[in-house]
Copies of this chain bind each other. A is one copy, B any other.
Amino acid sequence: METPKMETIKSLESKVRSYSRSFPTVFTKSKGHKMWDEEGNEYIDFFSGAGALNYGHNNDVMKSELVDYISNDGVTHSLDMATEKRAEFLQTLNDVILKPRNLDYRVMFPGPTGTNTVESALKLARKYTGRTDIISFTNGFHGMTIGSLSVTGNAAKRNGAGIPLTNVVHMPYDDFMDGKTDTLDYLEQFLENGGSGVDIPAGIILETVQGEGGINAARFEWLQRVEDICKRWGILLIVDDVQAGIGRTGTFFSFEEAGITPDVVCLSKSLSGYGSPLAITLFRPELDIWGPGEHNGTFRGNNHAFVTATAALNHYWKDNAFEQSIKKKSKRTHEFLQELTKKYPEMKGTVCGRGLMVGISSEVEGFSEKVAEESFNKGLVMETAGPDDEVFKLFPPLTIDEEGLEKGLSIIEESIKKLVKEPVTQ
Protein backbone atom coordinates (compact mmCIF):
# COMPACT_ATOMS: atom_id res chain seq x y z
CA MET A 1 0.00 0.00 0.00
CA GLU A 2 1.25 3.44 -0.91
CA THR A 3 1.73 6.10 1.68
CA PRO A 4 0.08 9.45 0.91
CA LYS A 5 3.44 10.98 0.04
CA MET A 6 4.21 8.23 -2.45
CA GLU A 7 0.70 8.70 -3.85
CA THR A 8 1.45 12.39 -4.34
CA ILE A 9 4.60 11.62 -6.26
CA LYS A 10 2.93 9.01 -8.42
CA SER A 11 0.03 11.26 -9.32
CA LEU A 12 1.77 14.61 -9.78
CA GLU A 13 5.23 13.79 -11.07
CA SER A 14 5.89 13.00 -14.72
CA LYS A 15 6.32 9.44 -15.91
CA VAL A 16 9.95 10.30 -16.54
CA ARG A 17 10.74 9.62 -12.86
CA SER A 18 12.90 6.55 -12.45
CA TYR A 19 14.70 6.01 -9.13
CA SER A 20 11.45 6.33 -7.20
CA ARG A 21 10.44 3.21 -9.14
CA SER A 22 13.60 1.21 -8.31
CA PHE A 23 13.54 2.29 -4.67
CA PRO A 24 9.81 2.54 -3.96
CA THR A 25 9.81 4.19 -0.57
CA VAL A 26 9.80 7.74 0.74
CA PHE A 27 13.11 8.74 2.30
CA THR A 28 13.25 11.28 5.11
CA LYS A 29 16.64 11.29 6.78
CA SER A 30 20.17 10.26 5.97
CA LYS A 31 23.58 10.25 7.59
CA GLY A 32 26.90 8.92 6.41
CA HIS A 33 26.21 5.66 4.60
CA LYS A 34 22.67 5.30 5.95
CA MET A 35 19.23 6.41 4.84
CA TRP A 36 15.86 6.11 6.54
CA ASP A 37 12.39 6.13 5.06
CA GLU A 38 9.20 7.59 6.49
CA GLU A 39 8.37 4.27 8.13
CA GLY A 40 11.68 4.25 9.95
CA ASN A 41 13.32 1.55 7.87
CA GLU A 42 17.09 1.84 7.63
CA TYR A 43 19.06 1.38 4.41
CA ILE A 44 22.72 1.11 3.64
CA ASP A 45 23.61 3.33 0.72
CA PHE A 46 25.77 1.73 -1.97
CA PHE A 47 24.51 4.28 -4.46
CA SER A 48 25.84 7.59 -3.05
CA GLY A 49 23.68 9.79 -5.22
CA ALA A 50 25.18 8.25 -8.33
CA GLY A 51 28.54 9.55 -7.17
CA ALA A 52 27.36 12.88 -5.78
CA LEU A 53 27.78 11.79 -2.15
CA ASN A 54 31.29 10.43 -2.01
CA TYR A 55 31.69 11.84 1.51
CA GLY A 56 28.43 10.27 2.65
CA HIS A 57 25.17 11.97 3.58
CA ASN A 58 25.16 15.16 5.61
CA ASN A 59 28.80 14.91 6.49
CA ASP A 60 29.42 16.66 9.80
CA VAL A 61 32.66 18.26 8.62
CA MET A 62 30.66 20.39 6.20
CA LYS A 63 27.35 20.50 7.97
CA SER A 64 28.35 22.81 10.78
CA GLU A 65 30.10 25.23 8.44
CA LEU A 66 27.05 25.29 6.21
CA VAL A 67 24.64 25.90 9.07
CA ASP A 68 26.88 28.67 10.41
CA TYR A 69 27.10 30.30 7.01
CA ILE A 70 23.36 30.26 6.52
CA SER A 71 22.68 31.44 10.06
CA ASN A 72 24.99 34.41 9.52
CA ASP A 73 23.32 35.44 6.26
CA GLY A 74 26.31 34.77 4.08
CA VAL A 75 25.53 35.46 0.44
CA THR A 76 23.57 32.47 -0.88
CA HIS A 77 23.19 33.18 -4.57
CA SER A 78 25.55 35.39 -6.53
CA LEU A 79 25.71 34.35 -10.18
CA ASP A 80 29.36 34.93 -11.04
CA MET A 81 29.81 37.98 -8.87
CA ALA A 82 32.88 37.93 -6.65
CA THR A 83 32.13 36.59 -3.18
CA GLU A 84 34.28 35.68 -0.25
CA LYS A 85 33.36 32.03 -0.52
CA ARG A 86 33.95 31.83 -4.26
CA ALA A 87 37.44 33.19 -3.71
CA GLU A 88 38.12 30.79 -0.87
CA PHE A 89 36.95 27.84 -2.91
CA LEU A 90 39.17 28.85 -5.84
CA GLN A 91 42.19 29.35 -3.61
CA THR A 92 41.67 26.06 -1.80
CA LEU A 93 41.16 24.12 -5.01
CA ASN A 94 44.38 25.57 -6.33
CA ASP A 95 46.40 25.06 -3.15
CA VAL A 96 45.11 21.69 -2.03
CA ILE A 97 44.43 19.97 -5.35
CA LEU A 98 45.94 21.57 -8.43
CA LYS A 99 49.36 22.78 -7.32
CA PRO A 100 50.38 19.57 -5.51
CA ARG A 101 49.50 17.68 -8.67
CA ASN A 102 51.42 20.13 -10.83
CA LEU A 103 48.29 21.09 -12.71
CA ASP A 104 48.00 24.62 -14.06
CA TYR A 105 44.32 25.04 -14.85
CA ARG A 106 41.92 27.95 -15.12
CA VAL A 107 38.57 27.39 -13.42
CA MET A 108 35.27 28.06 -15.18
CA PHE A 109 31.87 27.92 -13.49
CA PRO A 110 29.62 26.72 -16.30
CA GLY A 111 26.39 26.20 -14.37
CA PRO A 112 26.02 23.76 -11.49
CA THR A 113 25.51 20.37 -13.16
CA GLY A 114 27.46 17.77 -15.02
CA THR A 115 25.87 18.51 -18.34
CA ASN A 116 26.73 22.21 -17.96
CA THR A 117 30.43 21.48 -17.60
CA VAL A 118 30.39 19.03 -20.50
CA GLU A 119 28.62 21.53 -22.77
CA SER A 120 31.15 24.22 -21.87
CA ALA A 121 34.03 21.86 -22.58
CA LEU A 122 32.66 20.95 -26.02
CA LYS A 123 32.11 24.60 -26.87
CA LEU A 124 35.62 25.51 -25.83
CA ALA A 125 37.19 22.70 -27.84
CA ARG A 126 35.31 23.74 -30.97
CA LYS A 127 36.00 27.42 -30.43
CA TYR A 128 39.68 26.87 -29.77
CA THR A 129 40.39 24.54 -32.69
CA GLY A 130 37.91 25.91 -35.21
CA ARG A 131 36.83 22.33 -35.90
CA THR A 132 33.31 20.99 -35.43
CA ASP A 133 33.43 17.29 -34.60
CA ILE A 134 33.96 15.66 -31.24
CA ILE A 135 34.99 12.05 -30.84
CA SER A 136 33.34 10.27 -27.95
CA PHE A 137 33.28 6.62 -27.00
CA THR A 138 30.78 3.80 -27.01
CA ASN A 139 28.83 3.63 -23.76
CA GLY A 140 30.02 7.08 -22.76
CA PHE A 141 27.52 9.05 -20.72
CA HIS A 142 27.88 12.82 -20.56
CA GLY A 143 24.47 14.38 -19.96
CA MET A 144 21.00 15.07 -21.26
CA THR A 145 21.16 18.49 -22.92
CA ILE A 146 21.59 18.35 -26.67
CA GLY A 147 25.34 18.99 -26.77
CA SER A 148 26.09 16.42 -24.06
CA LEU A 149 23.52 13.97 -25.33
CA SER A 150 25.22 14.01 -28.73
CA VAL A 151 28.36 12.57 -27.16
CA THR A 152 26.38 10.04 -25.11
CA GLY A 153 26.00 6.51 -26.40
CA ASN A 154 22.84 5.16 -24.81
CA ALA A 155 20.16 4.59 -27.48
CA ALA A 156 17.16 5.13 -25.19
CA LYS A 157 18.51 8.46 -23.96
CA ARG A 158 19.47 9.55 -27.47
CA ASN A 159 16.03 8.70 -28.72
CA GLY A 160 14.60 11.34 -26.38
CA ALA A 161 16.24 14.12 -28.37
CA GLY A 162 13.68 14.15 -31.17
CA ILE A 163 16.30 15.46 -33.59
CA PRO A 164 19.38 13.91 -35.16
CA LEU A 165 22.40 14.28 -32.88
CA THR A 166 25.23 15.61 -35.00
CA ASN A 167 28.84 16.74 -35.08
CA VAL A 168 30.00 13.70 -33.11
CA VAL A 169 31.76 10.46 -34.06
CA HIS A 170 31.42 7.50 -31.72
CA MET A 171 34.52 5.36 -31.44
CA PRO A 172 34.96 2.03 -29.62
CA TYR A 173 36.00 2.36 -25.97
CA ASP A 174 38.70 0.15 -24.57
CA ASP A 175 37.64 -3.48 -24.76
CA PHE A 176 34.53 -2.70 -26.85
CA MET A 177 35.67 -5.53 -29.14
CA ASP A 178 36.20 -7.90 -26.22
CA GLY A 179 39.94 -7.68 -26.34
CA LYS A 180 40.09 -9.09 -29.84
CA THR A 181 41.78 -5.94 -31.07
CA ASP A 182 43.11 -2.67 -29.67
CA THR A 183 40.26 -0.29 -30.38
CA LEU A 184 42.69 2.61 -30.77
CA ASP A 185 44.13 0.95 -33.87
CA TYR A 186 40.72 1.53 -35.29
CA LEU A 187 40.49 5.15 -34.13
CA GLU A 188 43.95 5.94 -35.36
CA GLN A 189 43.35 4.40 -38.76
CA PHE A 190 40.32 6.65 -39.19
CA LEU A 191 42.38 9.72 -38.38
CA GLU A 192 45.31 8.75 -40.55
CA ASN A 193 43.41 7.75 -43.67
CA GLY A 194 42.43 10.84 -45.64
CA GLY A 195 39.50 8.97 -47.15
CA SER A 196 37.99 7.70 -43.93
CA GLY A 197 35.15 10.21 -43.76
CA VAL A 198 36.08 11.00 -40.16
CA ASP A 199 37.34 14.55 -39.94
CA ILE A 200 40.04 15.49 -37.43
CA PRO A 201 37.98 16.43 -34.37
CA ALA A 202 38.12 19.42 -32.06
CA GLY A 203 38.23 17.19 -29.01
CA ILE A 204 38.08 13.66 -27.69
CA ILE A 205 35.90 13.27 -24.61
CA LEU A 206 36.05 10.27 -22.34
CA GLU A 207 35.47 8.90 -18.87
CA THR A 208 38.44 6.95 -17.54
CA VAL A 209 35.91 4.62 -15.92
CA GLN A 210 32.47 4.63 -17.51
CA GLY A 211 29.78 4.85 -14.87
CA GLU A 212 26.38 4.64 -16.54
CA GLY A 213 27.89 2.74 -19.46
CA GLY A 214 28.65 -0.35 -17.38
CA ILE A 215 31.57 0.36 -15.00
CA ASN A 216 34.11 -0.09 -17.76
CA ALA A 217 37.60 0.88 -16.69
CA ALA A 218 39.96 1.77 -19.48
CA ARG A 219 43.50 0.44 -19.20
CA PHE A 220 46.12 3.05 -18.37
CA GLU A 221 48.03 2.24 -21.57
CA TRP A 222 44.88 2.88 -23.51
CA LEU A 223 44.42 6.27 -21.87
CA GLN A 224 48.05 7.13 -22.49
CA ARG A 225 47.69 6.26 -26.14
CA VAL A 226 44.59 8.46 -26.41
CA GLU A 227 46.67 11.30 -24.97
CA ASP A 228 49.38 10.65 -27.54
CA ILE A 229 46.85 10.64 -30.37
CA CYS A 230 45.45 13.95 -29.15
CA LYS A 231 48.88 15.54 -29.07
CA ARG A 232 49.79 14.22 -32.48
CA TRP A 233 46.70 15.69 -34.14
CA GLY A 234 46.19 18.83 -32.06
CA ILE A 235 43.00 17.45 -30.56
CA LEU A 236 41.91 18.57 -27.08
CA LEU A 237 41.66 15.73 -24.57
CA ILE A 238 38.60 16.25 -22.38
CA VAL A 239 38.22 14.01 -19.35
CA ASP A 240 34.67 13.94 -18.04
CA ASP A 241 35.45 13.23 -14.41
CA VAL A 242 31.95 14.03 -13.18
CA GLN A 243 31.29 10.52 -11.88
CA ALA A 244 34.77 9.02 -11.57
CA GLY A 245 36.41 12.08 -10.04
CA ILE A 246 36.67 13.40 -6.43
CA GLY A 247 38.23 10.26 -5.03
CA ARG A 248 35.90 7.65 -6.46
CA THR A 249 38.72 5.68 -8.12
CA GLY A 250 41.14 6.23 -5.25
CA THR A 251 42.70 9.55 -6.24
CA PHE A 252 41.18 13.02 -6.52
CA PHE A 253 41.14 12.90 -10.32
CA SER A 254 40.51 9.54 -11.90
CA PHE A 255 43.32 10.04 -14.41
CA GLU A 256 46.15 10.54 -11.95
CA GLU A 257 47.38 6.98 -11.88
CA ALA A 258 47.35 6.79 -15.66
CA GLY A 259 49.86 9.61 -15.73
CA ILE A 260 47.99 11.68 -18.30
CA THR A 261 47.21 15.41 -18.24
CA PRO A 262 43.95 16.29 -19.93
CA ASP A 263 43.55 19.65 -21.65
CA VAL A 264 40.10 20.03 -20.15
CA VAL A 265 38.54 18.39 -17.08
CA CYS A 266 34.84 18.31 -16.18
CA LEU A 267 33.92 18.06 -12.49
CA SER A 268 30.60 18.06 -10.69
CA LYS A 269 28.63 15.55 -8.52
CA SER A 270 30.73 15.18 -5.34
CA LEU A 271 32.58 18.43 -5.87
CA SER A 272 30.33 20.35 -3.47
CA GLY A 273 30.76 17.54 -0.96
CA TYR A 274 27.32 17.85 0.54
CA GLY A 275 25.19 17.01 -2.45
CA SER A 276 24.48 20.55 -3.59
CA PRO A 277 24.71 21.40 -7.27
CA LEU A 278 28.17 22.59 -8.27
CA ALA A 279 30.29 22.07 -11.34
CA ILE A 280 33.53 23.43 -12.74
CA THR A 281 35.43 23.12 -15.97
CA LEU A 282 39.22 23.16 -15.73
CA PHE A 283 41.50 23.88 -18.67
CA ARG A 284 45.00 24.93 -19.56
CA PRO A 285 45.48 28.72 -19.39
CA GLU A 286 46.25 28.92 -23.14
CA LEU A 287 42.75 27.62 -23.87
CA ASP A 288 41.12 30.45 -21.95
CA ILE A 289 39.92 32.36 -25.00
CA TRP A 290 36.39 32.93 -23.77
CA GLY A 291 34.85 36.36 -24.05
CA PRO A 292 33.20 37.71 -20.87
CA GLY A 293 29.81 36.08 -20.45
CA GLU A 294 30.14 34.07 -23.67
CA HIS A 295 28.85 31.14 -21.65
CA ASN A 296 26.82 31.91 -18.55
CA GLY A 297 24.11 30.61 -16.21
CA THR A 298 22.08 31.69 -13.21
CA PHE A 299 23.39 29.20 -10.68
CA ARG A 300 27.13 29.67 -11.16
CA GLY A 301 27.30 31.19 -7.69
CA ASN A 302 25.91 28.58 -5.32
CA ASN A 303 27.77 29.79 -2.25
CA HIS A 304 26.40 27.04 -0.02
CA ALA A 305 28.21 24.65 -2.31
CA PHE A 306 31.39 26.75 -2.17
CA VAL A 307 31.33 26.52 1.62
CA THR A 308 30.97 22.76 1.75
CA ALA A 309 33.31 22.14 -1.18
CA THR A 310 36.04 24.16 0.50
CA ALA A 311 35.51 22.32 3.77
CA ALA A 312 35.71 18.97 2.02
CA LEU A 313 38.93 19.83 0.21
CA ASN A 314 40.54 21.07 3.39
CA HIS A 315 39.44 18.14 5.45
CA TYR A 316 40.02 15.21 3.14
CA TRP A 317 42.69 16.15 0.63
CA LYS A 318 45.50 17.91 2.47
CA ASP A 319 47.33 14.67 3.04
CA ASN A 320 47.01 11.17 1.59
CA ALA A 321 45.23 9.45 4.47
CA PHE A 322 41.89 9.60 2.71
CA GLU A 323 43.33 8.15 -0.48
CA GLN A 324 44.92 5.34 1.54
CA SER A 325 41.61 4.50 3.15
CA ILE A 326 39.81 4.42 -0.21
CA LYS A 327 42.43 2.06 -1.57
CA LYS A 328 42.04 -0.26 1.37
CA LYS A 329 38.28 -0.44 0.93
CA SER A 330 38.68 -0.88 -2.82
CA LYS A 331 40.96 -3.82 -2.30
CA ARG A 332 38.53 -5.47 0.07
CA THR A 333 35.63 -4.88 -2.27
CA HIS A 334 37.39 -6.18 -5.36
CA GLU A 335 38.50 -9.31 -3.58
CA PHE A 336 34.99 -9.87 -2.31
CA LEU A 337 33.53 -9.50 -5.79
CA GLN A 338 36.12 -11.77 -7.34
CA GLU A 339 35.26 -14.39 -4.82
CA LEU A 340 31.57 -13.98 -5.50
CA THR A 341 32.02 -14.69 -9.21
CA LYS A 342 33.82 -17.89 -8.30
CA LYS A 343 31.34 -18.95 -5.66
CA TYR A 344 28.30 -18.33 -7.86
CA PRO A 345 29.27 -19.36 -11.39
CA GLU A 346 25.55 -19.50 -12.23
CA MET A 347 25.48 -15.73 -12.51
CA LYS A 348 28.23 -15.76 -15.17
CA GLY A 349 29.71 -12.68 -13.62
CA THR A 350 32.77 -10.61 -14.37
CA VAL A 351 34.14 -8.06 -11.94
CA CYS A 352 34.49 -4.62 -13.48
CA GLY A 353 35.66 -1.17 -12.45
CA ARG A 354 38.39 0.50 -10.47
CA GLY A 355 38.66 1.97 -6.95
CA LEU A 356 35.27 2.14 -5.29
CA MET A 357 33.57 2.33 -8.68
CA VAL A 358 32.97 -1.35 -9.14
CA GLY A 359 30.43 -3.96 -10.00
CA ILE A 360 29.72 -7.34 -11.47
CA SER A 361 28.57 -7.73 -15.03
CA SER A 362 26.34 -10.77 -15.35
CA GLU A 363 25.70 -12.46 -18.67
CA VAL A 364 22.42 -13.86 -17.36
CA GLU A 365 19.71 -11.60 -18.71
CA GLY A 366 17.94 -9.68 -15.97
CA PHE A 367 20.09 -11.10 -13.20
CA SER A 368 21.81 -7.88 -12.10
CA GLU A 369 18.51 -6.06 -11.90
CA LYS A 370 17.20 -8.81 -9.66
CA VAL A 371 20.26 -8.55 -7.41
CA ALA A 372 19.62 -4.83 -6.98
CA GLU A 373 15.93 -5.40 -6.36
CA GLU A 374 16.50 -8.16 -3.83
CA SER A 375 19.21 -6.14 -2.09
CA PHE A 376 16.82 -3.24 -1.72
CA ASN A 377 14.32 -5.57 -0.08
CA LYS A 378 17.06 -6.50 2.34
CA GLY A 379 17.96 -2.86 3.07
CA LEU A 380 20.60 -1.92 0.54
CA VAL A 381 20.33 0.87 -2.02
CA MET A 382 22.28 -0.01 -5.16
CA GLU A 383 21.70 0.58 -8.87
CA THR A 384 22.49 -1.14 -12.13
CA ALA A 385 24.40 0.14 -15.13
CA GLY A 386 25.24 -0.77 -18.71
CA PRO A 387 23.16 -0.67 -21.89
CA ASP A 388 21.16 -3.70 -20.78
CA ASP A 389 21.41 -3.04 -17.02
CA GLU A 390 23.71 -6.03 -16.96
CA VAL A 391 25.92 -4.65 -14.19
CA PHE A 392 25.10 -4.23 -10.52
CA LYS A 393 27.11 -1.30 -9.35
CA LEU A 394 28.72 -0.78 -5.93
CA PHE A 395 29.08 2.90 -5.11
CA PRO A 396 29.39 3.12 -1.32
CA PRO A 397 30.40 6.45 0.20
CA LEU A 398 34.18 6.65 0.27
CA THR A 399 33.85 7.44 3.96
CA ILE A 400 31.94 4.29 4.81
CA ASP A 401 33.23 2.42 7.86
CA GLU A 402 34.22 -1.22 7.85
CA GLU A 403 31.04 -2.37 9.49
CA GLY A 404 28.85 -0.60 6.94
CA LEU A 405 30.86 -1.91 4.03
CA GLU A 406 30.76 -5.49 5.26
CA LYS A 407 27.06 -5.33 5.96
CA GLY A 408 26.41 -4.05 2.45
CA LEU A 409 28.57 -6.73 0.91
CA SER A 410 26.86 -9.46 2.88
CA ILE A 411 23.42 -8.25 1.74
CA ILE A 412 24.62 -8.54 -1.84
CA GLU A 413 25.88 -12.06 -1.27
CA GLU A 414 22.66 -13.11 0.41
CA SER A 415 20.66 -11.72 -2.51
CA ILE A 416 22.75 -13.59 -5.03
CA LYS A 417 22.58 -16.77 -3.01
CA LYS A 418 18.81 -16.56 -3.03
CA LEU A 419 18.61 -15.75 -6.72
CA VAL A 420 20.87 -18.48 -8.05
CA LYS A 421 18.63 -20.98 -6.31
CA GLU A 422 15.54 -19.93 -8.20
CA PRO A 423 15.29 -20.30 -11.96
CA VAL A 424 15.60 -16.88 -13.62
CA THR A 425 12.70 -16.29 -15.93
CA GLN A 426 11.98 -13.24 -18.01
Q: Does A25 make an interface contact (CB < 8 A)?
A: yes
**A146, B144: Cβ atoms under 8 Å?**
no
A202: B residues at CB distance < 8 A:
162
Q: Kindly state the separation between the CA atoms of A83 and B28 in the bound complex, as whole angstroms.
A: 6
* A418 within 8 Å of B (CB atoms): no
- Tell me, yes or no, whether A181 is within 8 Å of chain B by CB: yes
Interface residues of A in 269-313 (CB under 8 A from B): 269, 274-277, 281, 283, 288-299, 302, 304
Determine whether the beta carbon of B115 is less than 8 Å from that of A116: yes
- Which of B38, B116, B185, B269 meets A180, CB within 8 Å? B185
Mask of A119-161 contacts with B, CB within 8 angstroms, 1/0: 1101101110000110011111001111110111111111111
Top 9 closest pairs, chain A to chain B, by CB: A126-B162, A77-B275, A170-B197, A146-B147, A195-B387, A145-B145, A18-B293, A16-B290, A5-B87
Residues of B within 8 A of A103 (CB): none
Q: Give Cα distance in the complex from A172 to B38, angstroms.
A: 52
Tell me if A321 counts as interface (CB < 8 A to partner B).
no
Count of chain A residues near B, Cβ 8 A: 154
CB <8 Å contact, B76 and A57:
yes
Bound Cα distance from A73 to B35, whole angstroms: 10
A86 to B27, CA, bound (A): 10
Q: Which residues of B contact A75 (CB under 8 A)?
A: 27-30, 35, 57
Q: Are A113 and B299 in contact (CB under 8 A)?
A: yes
A70 lies within 8 A of chain B by Cβ: yes
User: Which residues 75-94 of A sit at the B interface, judged by CB distance below 8 A?
Assistant: 75-84, 86-88, 90-91, 93-94
CB of A132 to closest CB in B, whole Å = 5
Between A108, A296, A388, the greatest number of chain B beta carbons within 10 A of the residue's beta carbon is seen for A296
Give CA–CA (A30, B77) in the complex, Å.
Answer: 9
Q: Is the CB of A196 within 8 A of B170?
A: yes
Q: Are A291 and B113 in contact (CB under 8 A)?
A: no
At the interface with chain B, which of A186-194, A221-229, A358-366? A186-194
Which residues from B are CB-within-8-Å of A57? Answer: 73, 75-77
| Least Cβ–Cβ distance between A328 and chain B, in angstroms | 26
A132 and B163 within 8 A (CB)? yes
Select which of B13, B38, B72, B294 is within 8 A of A160 by beta carbon.
Answer: B294
B119, B153, B387: the one contacting A145 at CB < 8 Å is B119
Using known A-B contacts A20-B80, A156-B194, A197-B152, determine if residue A12 contacts B52 with beta carbons closer than 8 Å: no
- Determine the distance from Cα of A23 to Cα of B79 in the docked complex, in whole angstroms: 11
Q: Please name all residues of chain B whose beta carbon is closer than 8 Å to the beta carbon of A110 when the two chains form the complex.
A: 144
Chain B residues near A30: list those with CB within 8 A. Answer: 73-76
Asked if A338 is an interface residue, CB under 8 A from chain B, the answer is: no
In the complex, chain B residues whose CB is within 8 Å of the CB of A1: none
* Chain B residue at smallest Cβ distance from A30: B75
A100 at the B interface (CB under 8 A): no
Q: Is the CB–CB distance between A292 and B15 below 8 Å?
A: yes
CB <8 Å contact, A145 and B18: no
Query: Which of chain B's residues have a CB closer than 8 A to the CB of A387?
Result: 193-196
**Cα–Cα, bound, A190→B387 (Å):** 12
- Nearest chain B residue, comparing its CB with the CB of A118: B145
Inter-chain contacts of A137 with B (CB < 8 A): 197
Assess A159 versus B294: contact at CB under 8 Å? Given A73-B31, A76-B30, A193-B138: yes
The contact of A26 among B84, B115, B158, by CB within 8 Å, is B84
Rounded to whole angstroms, the CA-CA distance of A199 and B76 in the bound complex is 37
A63 at the interface (CB under 8 A from B): yes
